[in-house]
A = this chain, B = another copy of it.
Amino acid sequence: MIVIGGGPGGYLAAERLGHAGKKVLLAEKETLGGTCLNVGCIPTKSLLNSAKLYAHARDAEPFGVTATEVSFDWARVQAWKDRVVKTLVAGVTATEKKAKVEVVKAAATLLGPGQVTVDGQTYSCEHVIIATGSIPASPPIPGLAGNPAVVDSTGMLAIDHVPEKLAVIGGGVIGVEFASLFAAFGAQVDVIEMLDEIIPFMDDDLSALLRKGMSAVNFHLSAKVTAIEGNTVVFENAAGQQRLEAEVILEAVGRRPLLEGWGAQEAGVATNRQGVIVDATMRTNLPNVWAVGDVTGRVPLAHAAYRMAEIAVAHILDPAAATQDGQIFRRESVPWAVYSIPEAAGVGLTEAQCAEQGIDVVAKTVPLTLSGRFIAENGVRAPGAVKLISERESGLVRGIFMVGPYAPETIWGAATTLETELTVADLRQIVFPHPTVSEGIREAAWA
């Protein structure tokens, strides 16, 4: 078995195949762990944790705790992040070793089914899993390419100081997390988003609530960036042309699947604008060639890559059992999380998506101030809400969305709710511990 790419999808597939007794080669041209571990989820969460500690230490007075001279040491914040990444990369390395996976630090090229070149040597193999991931998308904005004031998320993670003024192009997950992070550390942050709301995975009412919670950040919505001139972002909104000067400009307009450099075209792998075309079992058009993770263009999140890897492995090891066990990728029960301040998370279809698809639903939004723990920890006026979307006739839960603390840790229960196809009546019979913020979901079910 050959796995191309050592990010979450690739390293998990390799590990599982290795433990199943297969001979596995894992080719990774950079560092094991991929984007998520090296320049994505993990380093951002480490920096955001420091940001949250800083903000909490500074703002704890209403709760009777005061700290004079709260300060941060950016070099130390960064050093801790680097140590976390290093520790986790070492963990992945050890895991692969334990699974007897041969890791080769080199680029790989798919020649065709069962034929891969790694580091100049051509191997024959039974199955190939493509897990080459994605790279930051760079929009064709005049003055962006080569501009020293512009960085992408990878550059931003490595920055050696907190800029005084930061302009973020893009109000998706990456943009919003970096905006929260640097605003918490005192930067003046502007987010410029082309659409009329941030975070497209949830309905506008919740996105607006999240913006309200990020009160230190200036948001420019329905704003199209037309040029970058030195340190100035030029954009157009309803009021006309705007100019915004910033010390650093972060381009965070999304990521695109990496379809070049590993032989996709030469080997005849079918792709489209989204990425490598796969069916629900992760099979590509070529026999015994599978694709998992960001390269498929389906839910570009590490845990979606994990799930895709598990599905591919299940079908490689025992296709009959995998089919019987329903091992297919169900996009609608994949949760997402934003580790902003406040946090947000969700799973399933939004109210707007249900309307588009002609699904007749009831949508209920309840404030988190219904939760005693939320009030005790955040105050009586803090923004936070749960939105529950269910089919009007059957009560089937189609979506659960949350803005507020603990959302990322709470949402797996919502994924379980969707995956097990519970109705609102079923959800009402689930016992939520009291007092928790998760009870907001219970309150929404009773609403």
Contact = CB atoms under 8 A, between A and B. Distances in A.
A140 B338 CA distance: 53
A54 B65 contact: yes
Q: Interface majority SS on A: helix, strand, loop or mixed?
A: helix
Nearest to A419: B430
B69 A69 contact: yes
Contacts of A87: 375, 380
A68 B68 contact: yes
Nearest to A62: B80
Contact of A45 (B60, B325, B435): B435
A421 to B, nearest CB: 9
Contacts of A334: 431
A431 B335 contact: yes
A32 to B, nearest CB: 13
A444 interface: no
A121 to B, nearest CB: 33
A337 interface: yes
A43 to B, nearest CB: 9
A235 interface: no
Contact of A67 (B41, B71, B370): B71
A170 interface: no
Interface stretch (A131-139, A224-232, A405-413): A405-413
Contacts of A67: 57, 67-71
A139 B345 CA distance: 46
A231 to B, nearest CB: 27
A422 interface: yes
A394 interface: no
A428 interface: yes
Contacts of A63: 49-50, 53, 76-77, 80
A61 to B, nearest CB: 8
A111 B304 CA distance: 61
A204 B425 CA distance: 36
B57 A373 contact: no
A350 interface: no
A433 B413 contact: no
Contacts of A74: 64
A335 B70 contact: no
A363 interface: no
Interface in A297-356: 301-304, 306-307, 310, 325-327, 333-337, 345
A71 B57 CA distance: 11
Interface in A379-432: 380, 406, 408-417, 419-420, 422, 425-426, 428-432
Contact of A417 (B46, B84, B325, B416): B416
A161 interface: no
Contacts of A365: none
A441 interface: yes
Contacts of A345: 433
A36 interface: yes
B431 A408 contact: no
A302 B436 CA distance: 11
15 contacts: A42-B372, A53-B65, A56-B57, A57-B57, A63-B80, A84-B372, A88-B375, A301-B433, A301-B434, A306-B431, A334-B431, A337-B436, A408-B436, A416-B420, A420-B422
Given A69-B69, A412-B413, 20 more contacts: A46-B376, A49-B63, A61-B76, A63-B77, A64-B75, A64-B76, A64-B77, A64-B78, A67-B67, A67-B68, A81-B376, A84-B376, A91-B370, A302-B434, A306-B431, A409-B410, A410-B410, A412-B432, A415-B433, A420-B422
The 8 closest A-B pairs by CB, nearest first: A413-B413, A64-B77, A67-B67, A64-B76, A57-B57, A303-B434, A46-B376, A406-B409
